[in-house]
Amino acid sequence: MYIKRYSIAAFIWIALVGWYVYAYVTQETMSIDLFGIPMPSLSVALWVVVPLVVLYLASVFHMAFYSMLGSFRLRGYEKDFEKIIDAIIDAYLGKKSRSYTFKTDRYRLLGTLLEKSTVFPSGELIGATGNEKIDRVLKMIEDIKNGEVVDLKPFNLLPENPLVIQNEKNRVKKGEVKVADILSNCTKYADELCQFVYTDYVKTASLQNILKYKAFLTKESLHVIMARINSDGHTLSISNEELIELLNKLELSKQDYIELSITLSKGGMIPEQRMKLFETLSEEYHEEAMDAYLFTLFDLEMLAPADEVLENAQPDEFQNFRAYRALKECGKNFSIYLFV
């Protein structure tokens, strides 16, 4: 509502009505009683104008009141819009704890949907949203994906946040932070990050340091350690007892043990130590390692110990190795790798 324009038009109308009554109707004066109170004697034209003035004031108050309500409602929409922008940014950033309070029904619906959703932005959105805050966050996310390091501190993300983890990985790759510093202060970082840097760390670390941070051992890092045993570069000397100490940190399946044996077969571990490792594992620690022990025996052409294990096993056990032995006895030379 344009109150200023309305006031000008109203004043002109009131003046015209008063002029018309005074000029063409009557120029007399009169006095009236208002609730028993005698009012001063005024021109009839003025008495005609007074109700119009009162009506004008009432209408202006009415318009101003509802204009104020509309202003408050508009301000509520504007504030809710800013909250929606923040909610979209939090969804892009993958924040776990999100709670928004909206004053308008429409934005409340959108906020509820965003609060319960995970949003994966596309790089094509950068610069296309028309919102500076969103575009800045989208650019930041894209930079992290491309291996760049960005400042995430203003967003108060948890260490377990995927963007934080990837950003820290980028810092490690760029040499901005030392792996040893992360491993020695892993309470400040996510386990995923510590396991990631540990896998890289064990490529050159001493046995003492490998065992020191063994809490971050994974299957991948275990294979890296195994491949270093008696290898040409960054060779690692480790006893079976120390290896078993590492192996006991993980939940390994039959196939996992076989894959470890394959890794050792490609490395430099001496055959006797390799056989003894899986024999000890299968007999004293984990029955799941028996398949790996049989695989190791056949791989090293140690047929007599393999036959002894199969003879002492149940008839329905180790059918794949029994089939391999039967083919070998028939003079058929197949790779043991085809049977695991």
Task: Return the domain boundaries, the chain.
Answer: 3-113, 121-176, 217-339
The H or E element that residue 228 is part of is: helix 219-228
Residue 275 corresponds to which tokens in the numbers above?
């056989």
Q: What percent of the chain has pLDDT over 90?
A: 23
The C-alpha atoms of residue 275 and residue 271 are separated, in whole angstroms, by 6
pLDDT tens column, 16-65: 988 888 787 877 777 777 676 776 777 777 878 888 888 888 888 877 77
pLDDT tens column, 97-148: 777 788 888 888 888 888 777 777 766 666 667 788 888 888 898 899 999 9
Residue 129 corresponds to which tokens in the numbers above?
């949203």
Alpha helix locations (H) across the chain?
Answer: 3-20, 44-93, 105-115, 132-145, 162-173, 179-184, 191-201, 207-212, 219-228, 240-247, 254-266, 271-280, 290-299, 303-312, 319-329
The C-alpha atoms of residue 142 and residue 93 are separated, in whole angstroms, by 11
Residue 132 identity (one-letter amino acid): E
Note if the pTM is more than 0.85. Answer: no
Residue 40 identity (one-letter amino acid): P
Residue 110 identity (one-letter amino acid): L
The C-alpha atoms of residue 256 and residue 261 are separated, in whole angstroms, by 9
229 SS3 class: strand
CA separation, residue 164 to residues 27, 92, 161, 192 (Å): 86, 13, 5, 11
Q: Which of 35-39, 192-196, 232-236 has the lowest mean pLDDT?
A: 35-39
Region 79-90 average pLDDT: 85
